[in-house]
A = this chain, B = another copy of it.
């Protein structure tokens, strides 16, 4: 019988996260105070983030950071997640490639986001914080943080991007079942939201607007901190549990990936699966192809500019050195809400610049075509975000079919799409479309950035 699924025994579970910053040849450029343009120190972030996350954000020296026991205990509820050999997909594509995926969709909240939510909630609790805020797009991160808050006894307020709030009412319900307060963004509950709605009453929201509102709430609420589900270095750090497990699981399978693929919004699931493998590229020159699959409607890595920009629409964040489409960029209403973000994290931006990885753009219709094919082949309905990774994987596997190459491809299935069935409905009914971004639009948004 062919072995299809690989799971680590508890004794083999990683007890440290991997901090790629320590090993990078060119460190990420510093993040800057937008007024003085001076590099920030960890302490400068303390009013926004909890102290430990702020320190992790700036840590460029320690390659390994211990996972607190309380977090490992919570990880054990759903980790190790399965590494799966996608025999069904290989057969459907008739490819000589060996395709594996890391199945993060088995997390109780349905995606990889819980890996960082638990860590951030834990560190906040340790510091005596009582309230946390965040933004969410499709709601994967918001659902994860809502549950993590409940686990560690914190109150949680989530700003959800308005278009996703309306497209995906079930994710809002999930957050509410976990006891979180959910507000569609832009809202009238913050100055940032009011300012946006005054100029554009029908603004559909973006991660940029929701971040502004959540930060404002954190800054104006006693004993409250903000948390973010992607982009930042400490989030990527927590997500490396994915790749660290996968590395050992690939060993169980007796193979090593030639190509590693993940969808790309701000970088959390990409970093999570890629960095632990990339350390061998950086340190030992191991040749591995890393592909970030972004939506064609929000192509920061392939069509954006590497520059300093704000992380949010209102300009509340420090200036981040990153590939960006401009912080005022308003992404089209694609269903992959988690990928509707204008910028890439500082680490991943530097790695992209230094040629360690590449990026591809996937059209919305191609993403759903790939997701539907995957569902039929493997039985799992993928999140619209994850469909982008699957589309890129299929493209690579079909190249192998042409060349006869037996590449080993590993992709990250970041989450399931059970809450996104209305998107699949629309796709099956022919009601979805592609969105192309005009270069002129990107240039306009980048003016003055």
Chain A residues within CB distance 8 Å of chain B: 1-5, 7, 9-10, 69, 72-73, 76-78, 84, 88, 106, 108-110, 114, 147, 150-151, 169-170, 173-174, 176-179, 372, 375-376, 378-381, 418-419, 421-422, 424-425, 428
Contacts and interface: CB of A to CB of B under 8 A. Distances in A.
List 6 A-B pairs, minimum CB-CB distance, nearest first.
A108-B379, A170-B421, A173-B421, A108-B380, A418-B418, A173-B425
25 contacts: A1-B72, A3-B10, A3-B76, A5-B78, A77-B84, A78-B379, A88-B151, A108-B380, A109-B379, A151-B379, A169-B422, A169-B425, A170-B170, A170-B418, A170-B419, A170-B422, A173-B421, A174-B418, A174-B421, A176-B428, A177-B376, A177-B428, A418-B418, A418-B419, A419-B421
A225 B372 CA distance: 27
A147 B425 contact: no
Contacts of A88: 151
Given A170-B422, A177-B424, 13 more contacts: A1-B72, A3-B76, A4-B73, A5-B77, A5-B78, A150-B376, A169-B421, A170-B419, A173-B424, A173-B428, A176-B424, A418-B418, A419-B421
A260 to B, nearest CB: 22
A379 B174 contact: no
Tell me what chain A mostly uses at the interface: helix, strand, loop, or mixed.
helix
A178 B373 CA distance: 9
Q: Can you tell how many copies of this chain the complex includes?
A: 2
Contacts of A178: 375-376
Contact of A1 (B73, B176, B372): B73
Contact of A372 (B114, B147, B177, B424): B177
Contacts of A419: 170, 418, 421
Contacts of A174: 381, 418, 421
A302 B84 CA distance: 44
Most buried by B among A88, A170, A380: A170
Nearest to A372: B177
